[in-house]
Structure 1
């Protein structure tokens, strides 16, 4: 079983102490990437649930030694691990017995492995955990807890620092002096003592705001804290925690307000200022390494650079996606930005130019509520190459390799600039790729405004010279009048496709090539045209499929399956009613069977025999997707489990079943997670790890995470050992950067003079006749003329033998 597609941006990444590696939370693992090459170096595997936090240990030995690459990781499985991520090796496990949503270690800078003081060796972690036992019927339950944990002795320290409605993200200052969280409309800040770390001794400071806060950040050295709210405002509190008391008339102590502009109520701060540019919720705030600027980001995809002294701002626009995290590096010339489209960009500071990008599979396209079945988005799959074609928010189609777990290319389908702030009004609703990958079809829809202005376009694409490269062939506006396109299918072995519509007809499209004679030149024109239009009693057509040899076309007219001769546009037969409207059809290999499924209250899975025009067998299942092999008699089904099923408690809400068409008993099965909106398909195995020609079954869940199964194995899915699809590169760990001559031409080869004379592959070899080879080779590889001149002149002169003169 091969897993992949995990999100790269569920938690902020962390740089290694030298800035050469980037540690990224990817599901249950931690992926270590090279910031120089952008390739995967290694993975830290051991957690059983999603990793939420990474804390890199600062340098405690010489740079470059194995003692320089330690880190702590926390996960929702309630475990905290201590790693050497250069090896990688797991050194320590700490069980806190509660899911950890966030972790910071303030005193990690002062703790030293070589210290003789036992107290200074203890590491104390601030944890944001979730206690599910606190969830009661009361709406105001507090299940989020802020605790202190002694990582050295694996024990809790003191009592709970704070209780929240949900687990909050912790923030810590670079010096480790302050730790804070945002809690609704206020900030809670604790000052971490150097000694005797007990939670009961830690005083909590509160700073208030009139709107709900979304993030916070501490200044590296000064008592300045910044917070962003859901309306796009940024608040800067200066001099917080410097309480000044005075006596009132009754002799009681009170805070000396003095001149504290912008400070609300009795907040302990010298001043509070507000900046506003963003129009949406602030996602991140970070102070620059030179302590002069503040970086902010939100949904607009723009990094705003604020000057702390003046409040002036500058911009780094066109990041192409809503922003999530901004991470600085110990190397002041590097930083990285995490985007909502599952992409991390490594930036060169201070210009913030993108030097490398780490891309994952794009998240699902979220559409506004529409009527009927037109709100679903269909993704395509190239079975021959093992990659999927997914519509993205920026009006593109991403081609992603399931076998390698890498991003291949992006195709601009709609010529329109993407604005993350605007609502989705135009989107790619369907992508279909032919079996051999030579042709592709896309359907794009423009939503009407006030019931006016809707548009549907059908586009055909031809594959280029490279994998994942397609060129536009034909654009057809309103292919079915004003009705939506429900399905598109390509005919195997022919340049033919069929599109079905909710308006009650389907159209057969062919790729027409004609020659136009113009003098001696014969230019070729090619394009797709409509060959025929058919309907069945005016019933909406919901699905279509071609047989393996392309001789039969099956079209679903709601509950009826109609069989057609696609070349002559003749109705051959119709198969009896199904229980509900058919959502998908597929021929099982080259057999005489068709498998279909219906959704809704009358959901069922039916196998039809087209020779007898009758039902072969059926199941009462809530099916999400089906796929069939192009040869053989097997097909796979993705079904949703009932909420009463025991597997739901483990998070597995779906099941993948593999059937042989002759037998209603499944050949193999696997329980899966996030089955709603999932997809199935068979792809060719090109990994070289199995028998030649063996197929793999690809399951893509509703969040675009995927698993590749071996459908021929009858064992349960839990018996497999999962392996990541994105494999480490053998040369990815090489962090040496070339400069000067080597960066342009590469390193000069080193010659072994003892073997050079017998080698015929070296262009310049010292010999007894140097004048014949001294100027051979590339010009950039030759020494300068000042060094060539002397050997050349010496080669033209005869060397006299040395005579020994004996003095008498």
Structure 2
């Protein structure tokens, strides 16, 4: 079993003491990457819920590769990440939202170095009653408390601060100050030199007129900086002069209560001055001082790292990073730093030039504007042979991510646009589709109309180049007039594709073959329209090729039309379904076709191509994704659980594995985050290429790969099929088209075969039965006409 796709930027990372490793919180694990290569070295596995905080112990002979982690699973763990091994586990009984350990940062004096001091952590407890352990007291709000990491018995009952929700803790690089943001306030504590469970730290509060988003401390001086939701940066200098240094309120022989001597300070706060800088157009998300304290780094939604000179306020920029910025972390190695971005990437920077030398690329998060362009956004596309997944990115691109290696490979820019910090969405990559062998890609981009005018649809075909990367070969603007494209499907063996549209037609596209002239191979990969088809002007919502490419199935609203793609001839029409068909797929090399309906009457149907009839179906089954095995007669569906079943299973969706000939599922697995999820059968990794694996990717783009037919698959299954009840229908013959036929009376039929009289009306039964079992028309017509004639017994005169 392989899992991946975790979020690398949920919390700030941390460098090892030698700067050669970068520790990253990734779901319930901590991933350890090499800063030299950007590759994964090891993982710290033990937490059962997302890790929220990570603290690396300072460099020493005994703590060179040690760290502390905190999680919402209510535990704090001590690790040796060089092994890796968990050395100690502390159960706090409350979910931990944030954690800092100031005593690890504060240098000990020589006289105190020989004394043994307990190590205290400050934790922000999360008010999450669902995650808190049973039979334990639960906080009524976010709370900040102490925890003795050396001699742990229980979390301290002393509450430093209660907030409406848990807030992130920030500690100064010197370990002397601790701060949190609370709406329009900053609360700052001075950490005591000799800490204990009952020791009370002094606290001051700084006020602002806007909501504060982030704060950071100067590494050496009493300076604190904060960013707000409007993009402003505030810098308080000399904070805590009254309470932390002189309780009498005198500094250097003069009063500190004189507001004229404290420019920019609000409400007579305990600070000498407050200055404001403004460059960002929206909320500040990243704020950090340089290790020498001479510069301040800031970032936000613009995707630009701003370098402020603290004394003069002058700025330098690192532009076009391509995503909103979240964290900036210095390394013990002064030549390295890291910057975390909202697109699940961590860039390693070379200092002081701020050059990006390498990147750790996680899978890109789902589009934030899916609700704006609902109905246009495409699902992930999978490459069966190489185990890649292609997902859309925020900046109008496609990321190719290796599922087996769990790392991003490269990106293709579908629409050449730089990162824009505005919320307005003007272009959407609505479809991404890969051919069976992964050598061709089709994309559809839609320029949204403005005030009902404009709008443009562009179909693009891409080919793999010599570097195994996709490059665009053909642009087709408005391929279906002004109608949107509903589906793109590729021929399994030829360079042929079909695109269907809501405008009522489909088009077959072919790629020009290579031309040989005078012993030279001239590559001409342009695509051209081969044929156009339609059926009663009905919207074409889905399309699929059979395994050998001889049949093209196109959904025309509630019916399925079957075509000869080479001659563009309509072969047959089958159906009909209660709602428009939105998805079609042929099951492997069998002669079965799947169709999926959504909306108010969802239905999964299996059609027999040899009989041109419905084989079996499930009603009221809301299908989110379908995948068919390439060489097997199996398929899997991802279904959303109805409300009546959600309480029985852990999750909101279920994966059902079917043999196409049997309506009873072979296996089932309950899953979470099923909305927006996807399924795909993949060829086994290079070590076991003969295996057929199944991968599930959820709505947050986290995925798991497993063998659906092995022992591992049945261990993953939490419920048997008996626990699930769906309405199943099975129809054959004329029933799927014309409805139920009258039941056959065997006794009556037997009597009809013995004596054929006009009064028995045999024509009522001779046409009953499956279409493939009826006698030929020549026989039926003669029997039918003969039954209309009155038979008389000849008499001899």
Runs of 4+ deviating beyond 6 Å = 114-119, 244-247, 519-522
Helix, strand or coil: the match of 1:399?
Answer: strand
SS of 1:132's equivalent in the other structure is coil
User: Conserved in 2, the CA contact under 8 Å of 1:228 and 1:281?
Assistant: yes
SS in 2 for 1:107: helix
Determine the C-alpha separation between the residues in 2 that align with 1:58 and 1:41. Answer: 21
SS in 1 for 2:512: strand
Q: 1:282 aligns with which of 281, 284, 290?
A: 284
Shift in alpha-carbon separation, 1:122–1:487, aligned structure 2, 3 A: same
Q: 1:612 to 1:540 in 2, by over 3 A?
A: same
Given the alignment, which residue of 145, 148, 154 partners 2:146?
148
Instruction: Report 1 or 2 for greater relative contact order, CA contacts < 8 Å, sequence distance ≥ 6.
Output: 1
Does the residue aligned with 2:359 lie in a helix, a strand or coil? strand
Equivalent residues in 2 for 1:416-495, closer than 5 Å? 416-421=417-422, 423-467=424-468, 469-495=469-495
Q: Distance in 1 between matches of 2:405 and 2:587?
A: 28
| 1:257 CA drift (Å) | 3.9
Higher mean C-alpha deviation, range 200-209 or range 414-423: 414-423
- The answer to whether 1:664 aligns with 2:663 is yes
Query: Contact 1:246/1:256 (CA < 8 Å) preserved in 2?
Result: no
CA offset at residue 142 of structure 1?
5.7
What do the CA deviations read for 1:128-181 (whole angstroms, capped 9, x no partner)? 12123499xxxxx96322111112222222422222222211100011111111
SS at match of 1:68: coil
Instruction: Determine which of 303, 321, 333 is the counterpart of 1:301.
Output: 303
Structure 2 equivalent of residue 338 of structure 1: 340
The whole-number CA distance in structure 1 between the counterparts of 2:561 and 2:118 is: 73
1:581 Cα offset (Å) = 2.2
Do the aligned partners of residues 57 and 593 (structure 1) sit closer, same or farther apart at CA in structure 2, a change above 3 Å counting? same
Map 1:687-702 to 2 at 5 A.
Answer: 687-688=686-687, 690=688, 692-702=689-699
Check conservation: 2:15, 2:332, Cα contact below 8 A: yes
CA distance in 2, matches of 1:354, 1:445: 32
Moved more, 412-421 or 195-204: 195-204
CA distance in 2, matches of 1:573, 1:472: 36
**Does 1:107 pair with 2:106?**
no
Contact 1:8-1:342 within 8 A present in 2 as well: yes
Whether the aligned pair in 2 keeps the contact of 1:284 and 1:326 (CA below 8 Å) is: yes
Rounded to whole Å, the distance in 1 between the matches of 2:628 and 2:346 is 36
Q: 1:357 to 1:425 in 2, by over 3 A?
A: same
User: Does structure 1 retain, via aligned residues, the 8 Å contact 2:235–2:274?
Assistant: yes
Is there any run of 5+ residues in structure 1 with no aligned partner, and where? 136-140, 248-252, 722-808
When residues 217 and 67 of structure 1 are mapped into structure 2, their CA distance, relative to the original with a 3 A threshold, is closer
Report the counterpart of residue 778 of structure 1 in structure 2. none
Shift of the 398–521 alpha-carbon distance from structure 1 to 2, 3 Å rule, reads closer
Kept after mapping to 1: 8 A contact 2:294/2:310 = yes
| Higher mean C-alpha displacement, 499-508 vs 611-620 | 611-620
1:374 maps to what in 2?
Answer: 375
The 1:710–1:606 alpha-carbon spacing in structure 2 relative to 1, beyond 3 Å, is same
Gaps of 5+ in 2: 132-138, 250-254, 719-797
Q: How does 1:157-196 map to 2 (within 5 A)?
A: 157-196=156-195
Q: CA deviation at 1:56?
A: 0.5
Matched positions, count: 701
- Separation in 2, partners of 1:121, 1:110: 12
Per the TM alignment, residue 101 of structure 1 is displaced from its structure 2 partner at its CA by 1.4
Deviation of the 1:716 alpha carbon: 5.0
Match of 1:93 among 85, 89, 96: 89
Match of 1:585 in 2: 584
Q: Relative to 1, partners in 2 of residues 1:279 and 1:648: Cα closer, same or farther, differing over 3 Å? A: farther
Task: Indicate the SS of the match to 2:654.
Answer: strand
Map 1:737-752 → 2, pairs under 5 A? none
Counterpart position of 2:331: 329
Q: Tell me if 1:73 matches 2:69.
A: yes
1: distance between equivalents of 2:237 and 2:520? Answer: 78
Counterpart position of 2:391: 390
Deviating more after overlay: 237-246 vs 80-89: 237-246
User: Which residue of structure 2 aligns with residue 759 of structure 1?
Assistant: none
| Deviation of 1:120 (Å) | 4.1
Rounded Cα–Cα distance in structure 2 between residues aligned with 1:309 and 1:523 = 63
Alignment of 1:754-793 (within 5 A): none
Say what the alpha-carbon RMSD is for the aligned residues: 2.7
Shift of 1:423: 2.8
Q: 1:720 to 1:570 in 2, by over 3 A?
A: closer
- The residue number in structure 1 matching 2:118 is 122
- Are the equivalent residues in 2 in contact too, given 1:177–1:191 (CA < 8 A)? yes
Per-residue Cα deviation, 1:533-591 (whole angstroms, up to 9, x for no partner): 11122111111111101111111122222111111212222222223222211111111
**Pairing 1:540–2:550 present:** no
Q: What is the match of residue 765 of structure 2?
A: none
Contact 1:238 1:270 in 2 (8 A): yes
